[in-house]
């Protein structure tokens, strides 16, 4: 596997960038490009760490296709199907849903992505009983390689739906997404720096952290035995509110400002990293608050970093963290960024990192000015021993041959791709690497 696979490729320089305003324009652009033998990629917010949206052909930004198209009737349980334009950013989507008394069931840790980008890479949050964004999709409208506008769902072109709802845009350009949303709710958050040993001790027990709370994640600071732990439990809307001033101080000054400062310091003076990490891990002190779900799930991220994330069986978390710890102690690698651990329910989506297995996500980060390849390569080798599946939008070095063994329905995804895009209108260097030519 070659070194350059870590980096964005030089082909991120498109021949044409277009901003279509509706499906008809998307279809016309796809037909025009296909007729000239030019490749097409859609881009969302461009927040992936890989070159998955890059192209030297036509780049379609769907920023202008961002309306709430339809809000269906609510069920007695309060869930409701909502159809949105594929380019809508998650932040605006949440605001629009909140105004209608609705919310997304689960989210990741930022709200900057587009809905189509988030589902196409398998973006996820945390919660052992909850799936990622693609699991919340009920139907999609997309423009296929021959320029047709097609409606897909579990009952309409179900195979195409599978590849479209999580397939890096290889099925076509998604123009609308129907999401299953839930009645608006609040999250009661408890955050604290805890001894890593205490967090890991009963992690997966029936009455342990992960199963007795709705959304659990923790950030282990390398070179320390501390884990900043975030536990969120679902509550019906209408309770007491977040102390916004306190959250602003914690998120902006301590999390973003503090992390910028510590990573810059450690980038210059690596010997300080263990001490700095110990201070940083303790700086975010215990806090409890309650707020609308999207305000708790997400927070601003202003620090630049590189990230690799692997999905592994939850029982592998303890051995994997021990292996990473041993490696860091042995090599003395300078890592001033925490390692994030999250959880998700198994799902049935062909290319989901949580396909047919309960899942834990372990994400390693590195400061943008520090070397990352040796660290990520070592962790990637450990993940291989645990049947790890890399996040499709984050750094990794695997190719189709490695991935085939890790996804039971990989062959089905390739079969659908061959059928709907035999000329590879929607291919780029990244999809060629991970799915083959
Ligand atoms: C600070 C930060 C925090 C993050 N946090 C999380 C997290 O908590 N959880 C997590 O799982 N990931 C996380 N990620 C990764 C991120 O969610 C994914 O990489 C996501 O895909 C980015 O969305 P985007 O809109 O920027 O998509 P892009 O990066 O623009 O595109 C992603 C893929 O989707 C395709 N695509 C985009 N739009 C369309 C369309 N309309 N039709 C067809 N294909 C399309 C692109 O071609 C590309 O292959 C984070 C990334 C950053 C930078």
Q: How far is the CA of 113 from the centre of ligand 1 (A)?
A: 6
In a domain, 289, yes or no: yes
In a domain, 45, yes or no: no
Cα 16 from Cα 58, distance rounded (Å) = 5
Based on the domain organization, do 233 and 164 belong to the same domain? no
Based on the domain organization, do 231 and 379 belong to the same domain? yes
Residue 253 pLDDT more than 80? no
Q: How many helices (H) and strands (E) does the chain have?
A: 15, 17
Based on the domain organization, do 230 and 83 belong to the same domain? no
Q: Per-residue confidence at 258, pLDDT binned at 50, 70, 90?
A: confident
Q: How far is the CA of 115 from the centre of ligand 1 (A)?
A: 8
The CATH number given to whatever domain includes residue 109 is 3.30.465.10
Q: Are 287 and 250 in contact (CB under 8 A)?
A: yes
Cα 202 from Cα 208, distance rounded (Å) = 5
Q: How far is the CA of 44 from the centre of ligand 1 (A)?
A: 7
In a domain, 11, yes or no: no
Which protein residue's CA is at the shortest distance from atom 34 of ligand 1?
117
Based on the domain organization, do 155 and 96 belong to the same domain? yes
Based on the domain organization, do 244 and 331 belong to the same domain? yes
Q: How far is the CA of 165 from the centre of ligand 1 (A)?
A: 13
Which protein residue's CA is at the shortest distance from atom 15 of ligand 1?
48
Share the mean pLDDT of the chain: 92
Q: How far is the CA of 53 from the centre of ligand 1 (A)?
A: 9
Q: Per-residue confidence at 244, pLDDT binned at 50, 70, 90?
A: low
Which protein residue's CA is at the shortest distance from atom 47 of ligand 1?
53
Residue 243 pLDDT more than 80? no
Residue 45 CA: nearest ligand 1 atom is 26
In a domain, 37, yes or no: no
Residue 86 CA: nearest ligand 1 atom is 41
Q: How far is the CA of 292 from the centre of ligand 1 (A)?
A: 23
Q: How far is the CA of 69 from the centre of ligand 1 (A)?
A: 22
Residue 104 pLDDT more than 80? yes
In a domain, 31, yes or no: no
Residue 248 pLDDT more than 80? no
Cα 210 from Cα 189, distance rounded (Å) = 14
In a domain, 26, yes or no: no
Based on the domain organization, do 265 and 279 belong to the same domain? yes
Range of the domain at 259: 185-390
Q: In testing the pocket of ligand 1, which one of 51, 113, 391 has its CB within 8 Å of the most ligand atoms? A: 113
Residue 115 structure tokens: 């809905």
The CATH number given to whatever domain includes residue 204 is 3.40.462.10
- Residues 29-41 have pLDDT tens digits of 999 999 999 999 9
User: What's the total number of domains in the chain?
Assistant: 2
Which protein residue's CA is at the shortest distance from atom 44 of ligand 1?
169
- How much is the average pLDDT of 67-89? 96
| Helix segments in 269-372, DSSP class H | 273-283, 293-297, 317-331
DSSP assignment of 358-392 equals -EEEEEEEEETTS--HHHHHHHHHHHHTTT-EE-T
Which protein residue's CA is at the shortest distance from atom 27 of ligand 1?
117
Which protein residue's CA is at the shortest distance from atom 12 of ligand 1?
123
Q: Per-residue confidence at 241, pLDDT binned at 50, 70, 90?
A: low
Based on the domain organization, do 112 and 89 belong to the same domain? yes
Based on the domain organization, do 263 and 336 belong to the same domain? yes
- Report the pocket of ligand 1 as residue ranges, CB < 6 Å: 41-48, 52-53, 62, 86, 108-110, 113-114, 116-118, 120-121, 123-124, 168-169, 173-174, 301, 391, 393
- Residues 147-186 have pLDDT tens digits of 999 999 999 999 999 999 999 999 999 999 999 999 999 9
- How much is the average pLDDT of 363-370? 92
Q: Per-residue confidence at 344, pLDDT binned at 50, 70, 90?
A: very high
Based on the domain organization, do 220 and 121 belong to the same domain? no
In a domain, 21, yes or no: no
- How much is the average pLDDT of 209-230? 94
- How much is the average pLDDT of 365-378? 93
Cα 241 from Cα 292, distance rounded (Å) = 8
Based on the domain organization, do 415 and 366 belong to the same domain? no
Based on the domain organization, do 163 and 306 belong to the same domain? no
In a domain, 20, yes or no: no
Residue 319 pLDDT more than 60? yes
pTM of the model: 0.94
Which protein residue's CA is at the shortest distance from atom 48 of ligand 1?
53
Which protein residue's CA is at the shortest distance from atom 32 of ligand 1?
117
Based on the domain organization, do 194 and 174 belong to the same domain? no
Q: How far is the CA of 371 from the centre of ligand 1 (A)?
A: 24
Cα-Cα-Cα-Cα dihedral sign, residues 258, 264, 265, 270: positive
Rank 83-97, 197-211, 217-231, 243-257 by mean pLDDT and report only the highest: 83-97
Q: In testing the pocket of ligand 1, which one of 51, 123, 420 has its CB within 8 Å of the most ligand atoms? A: 123
């Amino acid at each position: 596997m070659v070194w350059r696979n870590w980096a964005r490729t030089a082909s991120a320089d498109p021949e044409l960038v277009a901003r279509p305003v509706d499906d008809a324009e998307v279809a016309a652009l796809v037909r025009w490009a296909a007729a000239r033998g030019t490749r097409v990629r859609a881009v969302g917010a461009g927040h992936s760490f890989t070159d998955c949206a890059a192209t030297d052909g036509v780049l379609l930004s769907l920023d202008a296709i961002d309306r709430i198209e339809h809000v269906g009737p609510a069920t007695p349980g309060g869930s409701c199907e909502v159809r949105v334009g594929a380019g809508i950013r998650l932040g605006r989507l949440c605001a629009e849903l909140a105004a209608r008394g609705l919310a997304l069931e689960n989210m990741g840790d930022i709200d900057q992505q587009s809905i189509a980008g988030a589902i196409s890479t398998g973006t996820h949050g945390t919660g052992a009983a909850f799936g990622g964004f693609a699991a919340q999709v009920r139907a999609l409208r997309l423009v296929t390689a021959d320029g047709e506008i097609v409606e897909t769902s579990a009952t309409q072109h179900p195979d195409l739906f599978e590849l479209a709802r999580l397939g890096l845009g290889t099925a076509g350009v998604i123009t609308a997404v129907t999401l299953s949303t839930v009645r608006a709710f609040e999250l009661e958050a408890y955050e604290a720096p805890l001894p890593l040993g205490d967090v890991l001790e009963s992690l997966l027990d029936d009455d342990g952290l992960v199963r007795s709370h709705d959304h659990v994640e923790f950030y282990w600071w390398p070179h320390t035995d501390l884990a900043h732990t975030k536990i969120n439990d679902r509550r019906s809307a209408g309770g007491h509110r977040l102390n916004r001033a306190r959250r602003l101080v914690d998120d902006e000054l301590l999390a973003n400002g503090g992390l910028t400062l510590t990573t810059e310091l450690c980038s210059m003076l690596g010997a300080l990293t263990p001490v700095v990490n110990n201070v940083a891990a303790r700086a975010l002190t215990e806090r409890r608050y309650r707020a609308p779900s999207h305000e708790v799930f997400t927070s601003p991220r202003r620090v630049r970093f590189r990230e690799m994330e692997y999905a592994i069986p939850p029982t592998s978390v303890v051995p994997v963290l021990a292996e990473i710890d041993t490696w860091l102690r042995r090599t003395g690698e300078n890592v001033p960024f925490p390692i994030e651990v999250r959880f998700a329910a198994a799902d049935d989506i062909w290319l989901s990192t949580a396909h047919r297995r309960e899942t834990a996500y372990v994400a390693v980060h590195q400061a943008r000015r520090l070397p990352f390849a040796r660290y990520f390569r070592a962790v990637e080798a450990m993940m291989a021993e645990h049947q790890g599946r890399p996040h499709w939008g984050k750094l990794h070095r695997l190719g189709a041959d490695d991935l085939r063994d890790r996804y039971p329905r990989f062959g089905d995804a390739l079969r659908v791709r061959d059928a709907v895009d035999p000329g590879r209108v929607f291919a780029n260097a990244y999809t060629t690497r991970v799915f083959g030519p």
